[in-house]
Chains A and B, each alone.
Chain A
Amino acid sequence: MTPVATPFFFYLLAATMIIGGILVITRKNAVHSAMALITTLLAQAGLYLMLYAPFVAGVQIILYAGGIMVLFLFVIMLINIERTMKERQFNKQWLVGIAAATALGGLFITVYTKGKSLFPAGGASYPEEQNTQAVAGLLFDRHTGMYMFPFEIASLLLLVAIIGAVVMAKKRI
């Protein structure tokens, strides 16, 4: 079977992501921004697929595109769009903006020119069939499972956030 991970698909997905990302910040209507963000996230799932990580791609679609963005839209719909349309979209902090852009651009150029020496060549690549098992191994396996603790800590953080939201939203529980 011929590999699907051709440069054409990479550039297509990357271009979709960049255009989507630009639309997210330039659209005045928050719902349009959210839809552009969904496009970006879906294209990102495609990039994960190209890296032979189908499990991560599937989780990306379920969690971000299917779950979190629905809640985003849910909240945005309760906002008065008419008023947000009139608000100023960008602030005028040119100095900080230029500094941040230069730093990020410098980083990109460094990675692009010296990428080969910065990152280990090849690295660990899993065949497509074993991606799910590999993720599970990194989390749960007795010998290779080193990410169990960070994973649990992250979920605890989310739990704290949920409890905080409930406490703030409900005066009487």
Chain B
Amino acid sequence: MGALVQYIQSYLSSDLTPGAAGNWFWATVYVLLVFVGLSVAVICMNWLERKILAHMQVRLGPMRVGPHGLLQPIADALKLLLKEDIIPAEADKIVFWVAPFIVVLAAFTVFVVVPFGPTHAITDMNIGILFMLGVSSLSVLGIVTAGWASNSHYPLIGALRSSAQMVSYEVAMGLAVVSVILMTSLNAEGTGTLSMIGIVRAQQAQGMWFIFKFFPLGLIAFAIFAVAMVAETNRAPFDLPEAESELTAGFHTEYSGFRWSLFFLAEYSAMIAVSSIAVTLWLGGWLRPFPNLLSGATWDLVFSLFPGLAFLFLAGMCFFNVARMPKHPLFKIQTIGLAGFGVVLGLIGVILFVPLVRDRVGDIFWFSAKVAAFMYLYIWYRGTFPRYRFDQLMKVGWKVLLPTGFAVLILTAATAFFEPSVEQWLRHIL
């Protein structure tokens, strides 16, 4: 027993990820934490997407289940689980059965290497970014097989569109990523890294997020990735595989109940996964904003208070709405529930002010906040842009993003190669 406790405690003093330390206990804990966190994030996204879209379209969105529809995702999940799981008679049973699991597996496995903080990752792989791109590209297999196995026309067309779209945007995405990996090699040894933690550390060492590196090259690479990642996750305005007006629901038309909800889960966790790639590669991962401009112990303290303040703000929102609730006796339970939710959020906020906790969760907070900004962008795109036509989509992918990607890659390489000598030459002249 004592040995077990010691085994568990031994990790706490190390500054490695559980995978690198080879600690099974903490690796399992981290896997569970990431899984639970992702599921909660998907639930939140479900509610937020409806609410934000509704407000963008001057509607109210879900209002009936719980205060401001807060319990709507839970009601939906219950509905989906209780719904009949239909497998079409003419479908290819095994493939139809396996397809959702391929998508979910691919979407969740990538989180093994996502660095929520210098030590807050399940493991750090030498090929981190390659692993993420590779495994997330496997999800297209699930979509294609789902469309094919349904043995119906709309899903098949959706699957064909999806495979064409994902394969073509992967190329532009890869080029944008390579230009970042080039930037990581600008150190004394001259060797870059593919490890996700290594990429963030390179940005820390160079004192600059890669989005601002070699301005505007980093920014253009980021823009390419930002467009490609929307296409890669089949979201609006590139949601052709599931274009409702043309293909009913695209590749998952024949799916219902639990299996459909797996596709839903996979779509949202894939969105979070690509957003975290973008955050890690260009936006400094877990690093807090303005580390150079606002440096020093005082600013460190100010920025470390942010996680707690964010939760206190949410709690304040809850209490504000408790005050605004209708005073009718029918709303009594809802009002008490909302107040309770506010108290829970406030307590979390207070706990986050404790110095010991504060130091451990700061990086997770900044990483999640940056990812959350991307998730808001996803909803915003959906509320703003009309869907692309298929030929337009292909044109953007192959004729705009790909050549730009090549140009950025070549220019980045040239700048990285010539910058030191040009700098030396300039210093020589002046």
Contact = CB atoms under 8 A, between A and B. Distances in A.
Contact of A73 (B126, B130, B163): B163
B159 interface: yes
B134 A58 contact: yes
B347 to A, nearest CB: 39
A163 interface: no
Interface in B91-105: 92, 94-95, 98
Interface string A60-93: 0110011101110110010000000000000000
A92 B245 CA distance: 51
Given A35-B145, A61-B138, A62-B133, A70 B166 contact: yes
B312 interface: no
B138 A54 contact: no
Contacts of B127: 54-55, 57-58, 132
A53 to B, nearest CB: 10
Contact of A70 (B20, B134, B167): B167
Contact of B130 (A29, A32, A58, A70): A58
A6 interface: no
Interface in A21-62: 29, 31-32, 35, 38, 54-55, 57-59, 61-62
Interface residues of B, number: 33
B22 A73 contact: no
B343 to A, nearest CB: 44
B147 to A, nearest CB: 8
B49 to A, nearest CB: 28
A102 interface: no
Nearest to B131: A58
A47 to B, nearest CB: 15
B166 A77 contact: no
B167 A77 contact: no
B417 to A, nearest CB: 13
Contact of B141 (A54, A55, A70, A128): A70
Nearest to A64: B134
A2 interface: yes
B191 interface: yes
B69 to A, nearest CB: 38
Nearest to A77: B148
A38 B134 CA distance: 13
Given A32-B95, A70-B166, A73-B148, A62 B141 contact: no
Interface string A125-139: 000110111000000
Given A1-B22, A58-B127, A58-B131, A38 B160 contact: no
A32 B164 CA distance: 20
Contact of A67 (B94, B98, B159, B170): B170
A75 to B, nearest CB: 10
The interface residues of chain B, by DSSP majority, are classed as: helix
B164 to A, nearest CB: 7
Nearest to B167: A70
A66 B160 CA distance: 15
Nearest to B133: A62
Interface string B130-164: 11011101101100110011000000100110011
Interface in B353-376: none
A74 B130 contact: no
B16 to A, nearest CB: 10
B413 to A, nearest CB: 12
Interface in B80-129: 92, 94-95, 98, 125-127
Count chain A CB atoms within 10 A of each CB in B95, B127, B140, B194 and give the residue with the most: B127
Given A62-B133, A70-B163, A132 B126 contact: yes
Contacts of B138: 61, 65-66
B190 to A, nearest CB: 10
A81 to B, nearest CB: 9
Given A2-B22, A59-B134, A73-B141, 5 more contacts: A35-B95, A35-B98, A57-B127, A77-B144, A132-B194
17 contacts: A1-B20, A1-B22, A35-B95, A35-B145, A54-B127, A55-B127, A59-B134, A65-B141, A66-B137, A67-B137, A67-B167, A69-B141, A71-B163, A73-B141, A128-B126, A129-B126, A133-B191
Interface of A: 1-2, 29, 31-32, 35, 38, 54-55, 57-59, 61-62, 65-67, 69-71, 73-74, 77, 128-129, 131-133
